[in-house]
Structures are given as structure tokens and as C-alpha cells.
Amino acid sequence: MSAQPLVPSEHRSGALLDHLARRMRLRSESVLAPLGLRPRHLVALTVLRDGDGISQQALASTLEMDSTNIVGLLNDLEAKQLIERRRSPEDRRRHVVELTEDGAKRLNEAECALAGAENEVLGALEPADRERLYLLLRQAATGTTVICSTAIHEDETSSDTC
């Protein structure tokens, strides 16, 4: 076995993403349980926070989930009053999904609660790198560059008992 990597590996993030997401999800489950949330609820809420007031169809496509399964997901969230469905004025077939205040608050609480989990999973990264990672992930997820000032502004409003 000659140790001669003449063909070095491609730098694909897929598997790493998968791996880290799994590790994070495993921890998240137990942390989120007391809040009555599951990891996928959090994903939905996060998406809703970024693009508020979107149709269920749009949500389904962002989440890349079957729309029939979105229904159940939103039912959960609505039962807990974390989101609201209201009919669109333009097209009354459509439901516009919005984060309620409770929803935003709960999301924030959840994120705070996840600090420990993130520490475990992202322990090898120093705070600055974690923030860098966050910004990259967010940009990839939303397709928009996050301007620093915006991020700082968001910081103020969300300063809870973290």
C-alpha cells in the first residue's frame, strides 16, 4: 500500500454537511423536546423567519418537502400558536404562513437552548469561525448575502437571557 495520493480528493461539502447535521440533530432532539419542538420544526421556523408571509407551496419548495407533509408540520406549529395561517387577499385559495410573536420568541428560545449542542458539535471552531460558518450557511440557504450591519442589528433585538 504505497501512501501516494496522486489523486487528491475533491472538496465536496456534502458528506461533511450530512455528518455535522446529524450530530447536531441528535443533540437538538433532546434539547428541543422540553420546548415541544423537533428539529424539523426549527428548520421550518427558521425559514419562516427569513421569508415571512409565504405560501405553503413556496414553503414546501424551499423545504423541498412534499406539500401534503407540510400540512401536518404546520398543523403542529399552528396548534402551538407559533405560526398563523391566513388567507391571501389576492388569492383566497392560498394560505399565507407567518411567524407569530410567540413563534419568533420560541424560535429564539430554542436557539438559545441549542447553545450547548452547538458547542459540542462545533467545538473545534473558535467563536469567530462559527460566526463565519453561520454567515456562509445562511447565505447558501437564503441566497442572499448577509450584511454585517444587518446581523448586528438583529443581534440587538434578539438579546434575551441567552
Partner DNA sequence: AGGATCGTCTGTGTAGCACCAACCATTTAT
Partner DNA sequence: ATAAATGGTTGGTGCTACACAGACGATCCT
Residues 72-131 that bind DNA (CB under 7 A): 72, 74-75, 85, 91-95
Which x/- pattern, by CB under 8 A, does the window 73-102 give for its own copies? ----------------------------x-
74 Cβ neighbours under 8 A, 6+ residues apart: 44, 56, 59, 83, 85, 97
State the binding partner of 80 from its own copies, DNA, none, CB within 5 to 8 A by kind: none
Q: Is 85 exposed, middle or buried (0-12, 13-18, 19+ CB in 10 A)?
A: middle
Q: Are 55 and 94 in contact (CB under 8 A)?
A: yes
C-alpha to C-alpha distances, 23 to 60, 67, 80, nearest whole angstrom:
25, 27, 27
Nearest approach, Cβ of residue 158 and DNA (Å): 26
Nearest approach, Cβ of residue 68 and DNA (Å): 4
Angstrom distance (rounded) from CA 147 to CA 95: 31
Angstrom distance (rounded) from CA 34 to CA 38: 10
Q: Is residue 20 near DNA by the rule CB under 7 A?
A: no
Nearest approach, Cβ of residue 74 and DNA (Å): 6
Q: Is residue 29 near its own copies by the rule CB under 8 A?
A: no
Q: Is residue 112 near its own copies by the rule CB under 8 A?
A: yes
Task: Locate 104 and state its grid cell.
Answer: 419568533
Binder among 67, 69, 75, 139 for its own copies (CB under 8 A): 139
- Pick 91 or 126: Cβ nearer its own copies: 126
State the binding partner of 92 from DNA, its own copies, none, CB within 5 to 8 A by kind: DNA
Task: Locate 129 and state its grid cell.
Answer: 469561525
Nearest approach, Cβ of residue 97 and DNA (Å): 7
